[in-house]
């Protein structure tokens, strides 16, 4: 089973969030880790964009904090270790998450932590520094505010480790180490970090306090900010890192499998208050398509025969998946080439013939799509995998990112900027 996140395209445009959505897709399609919420497919219809990701039924840590769950030191240590492995992987991919907090850490059915939501993540290459004021203020590192206020040298991967320290402190005590809210000005927060010291609970172990102090060090130069630094901490000296990286260490807190670990109010609000609810989409889109079809037919009768409009291209290159010892299948490489259909202009923006090749264990599968006017492509890939799809302006941008597309049994591509959808 999978979870599906959907975003209304018109709202993304109105809120100026298109760039963030594209960045998130670009990042998610390039990464995969055992302690991340991984992307499996992305697709769209006329109204929404969808991302199909790992299903984590254990809920997020914010929900469990609101349920007054008392997390033990051992449990928090495990979360710190799992986030350390996730952040170490992200650093190898040159990614700063910038929004590590309990709301973005989801638990699986066994209680292991997974980092999600790359909406404001950024990619920095060697030697570069980030400068934008981005994140959730109570979890943002001091150097982010300092860079914004004084225009310093910026910040780097250390900011995510500060957020882990705030998260760990909050899980243990029930509130955050600093009294920071979204309305606080950046200038006041710079002063706060230089004048206010963190208070630690006397009953906490000395090793845990030492770890939190290193994570919550104001100066990024002296902060614990790498997997090697974390592994050297006395509080984590006895952690079996190899077993932990394979989820063989049992968490101290396991979500109740008989409960729904989320607030159902959001689902009710979506069904009752949302003007275009998802559960009524099928009927709504069918009505819109019927109206568009009637309009196109009337125009064809009045205008007489005309030359076909420039075709849009849909190409699906399906990756074969082989079930392995792990939960996820083996991802294989996929190459794509364009060719000009006989009689077409051969423009790179208006191709009429495409073919893709997916290979695994020496086996090659070829998918050929020919587009002339309105295209009906028959053929169902053997298994889900990455591909390309070009629909309306927003969809074309998504396709250039190379995001995976949910494979349909029948695929209909309508020209003149209408999106991709599936017919079952």
What is the tally of helices (H) and strands (E) in the chain?
13, 17
The reply to whether the predicted model has a pTM over 0.85 is no
How far apart CA 120 and CA 316 sit, in angstroms, is 29
pLDDT at 185 over 70: yes
Region of poorest pLDDT, from 72-81, 85-94, 223-232, 380-389: 380-389
Are the C-beta atoms of 82 and 30 separated by less than 8 Å?
no
Are the C-beta atoms of 390 and 399 separated by less than 8 Å?
yes
Q: Is 123 helix (H, G, I), strand (E, B) or coil?
A: strand
Confidence category of residue 279, pLDDT binned at 50, 70, 90: low
**Residue whose tokens read 């060697």:** 126
Q: Which own/partner contact pairs does 287-291 have at CB distance under 8 Å and 24+ positions apart?
A: 288/46
Per-domain residue ranges for the chain? 2-54+311-423, 61-244
CA contacts within 13 A on the Cβ side of 13: 10
- Residue 402's pLDDT is 40
E-only strand ranges, 293-420:
314-315, 334-339, 353-360, 363-370, 375-378, 385-386, 388-389, 404-405, 410-413
How many other CB atoms are there within 10 angstroms of residue 264's CB atom? 8
Q: Please tell me which residue, 401 or 44, carries the higher pLDDT value.
A: 44
Q: Residue 26: left if φ>0, alpha if ψ -120 to 50, beta else—which one?
A: alpha
Q: Please tell me which residue, 352 or 135, carries the higher pLDDT value.
A: 135
Q: Quote helix, strand, coil % in the chain, to nearest 5.
A: 35, 20, 45
pLDDT at 158 over 60: yes
Residues in contact with 3: Cβ distance below 8 Å, sequence separation at least 6, in sequence order: 52, 53, 54, 55, 56
How far apart CA 81 and CA 94 sit, in angstroms, is 20
Token output for 245: 């990286």
End-to-end CA distance of the chain, in Å?
19
Catalytic residue IDs: 99
Task: Determine whether domain 61-244 maps to CATH 1.10.510.10.
Answer: yes
How far apart CA 164 and CA 133 sit, in angstroms, is 18
Token output for 57: 């039924």
Token output for 172: 């243990």
State the average pLDDT for the chain. 74
**Residue whose tokens read 């090793």:** 207
Averaged pLDDT for residues 32-39: 96
Confidence category of residue 87, pLDDT binned at 50, 70, 90: very high
- Residue 218's pLDDT is 96
């Amino acid at each position: 089973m999978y979870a599906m996140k959907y975003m209304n395209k018109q709202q993304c445009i109105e809120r100026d969030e298109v760039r963030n959505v594209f960045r998130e897709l670009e990042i998610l399609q390039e990464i995969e880790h055992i302690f991340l919420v991984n992307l499996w497919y992305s697709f769209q219809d006329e109204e929404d964009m969808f991302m199909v990701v790992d299903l984590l039924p254990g809920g997020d840590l914010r929900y469990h904090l609101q349920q007054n769950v008392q997390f033990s030191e051992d449990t928090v240590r495990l979360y710190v270790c799992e986030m350390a492995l996730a952040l170490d992987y992200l650093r190898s991919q040159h990614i700063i998450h910038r929004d590590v907090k309990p709301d973005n850490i989801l638990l699986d059915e066994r209680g292991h932590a997974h980092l999600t939501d790359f909406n404001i993540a950024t990619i920095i290459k060697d030697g570069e520094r980030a400068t934008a004021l981005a994140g959730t203020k109570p979890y943002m590192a001091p150097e982010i505010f300092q860079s914004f206020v004084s225009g310093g040298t910026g910040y780097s991967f250390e900011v995510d480790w500060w957020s882990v320290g705030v998260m760990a402190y909050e899980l243990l005590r029930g509130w955050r180490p600093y009294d920071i809210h979204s309305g606080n000005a950046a200038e006041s927060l710079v002063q706060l970090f230089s004048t206010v010291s963190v208070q630690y609970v006397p009953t906490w172990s000395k090793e845990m306090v030492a770890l939190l102090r290193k994570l919550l060090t104001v100066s990024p130069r002296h902060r614990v900010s790498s997997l090697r630094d974390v592994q050297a901490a006395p509080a984590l000296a006895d952690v079996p890192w190899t077993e932990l990286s394979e989820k063989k260490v049992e968490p101290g807190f396991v979500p109740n499998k008989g409960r729904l670990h989320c607030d159902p109010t959001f689902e009710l609000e979506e069904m009752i208050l949302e003007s275009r609810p998802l559960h009524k989409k099928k009927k709504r889109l069918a009505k819109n398509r019927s109206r568009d079809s009637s309009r196109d037919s009337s125009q064809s009768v009045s205008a007489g025969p005309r030359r076909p409009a420039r075709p849009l291209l849909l190409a699906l290159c399906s990756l074969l998946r082989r079930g392995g010892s792990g939960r996820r299948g083996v991802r294989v490489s996929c190459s794509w080439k364009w060719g000009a259909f006989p009689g077409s202009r051969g423009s790179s923006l208006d191709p009429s013939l495409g073919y893709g090749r997916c290979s695994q264990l020496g086996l090659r599968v070829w998918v050929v799509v020919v587009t002339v006017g309105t295209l009906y492509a028959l053929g169902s890939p053997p298994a889900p995998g990455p591909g390309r799809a070009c629909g309306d302006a927003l969809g074309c941008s998504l396709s250039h990112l190379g995001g995976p597309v949910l494979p349909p049994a029948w695929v209909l591509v309508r020209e003149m900027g209408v999106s991709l959808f599936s017919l079952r």
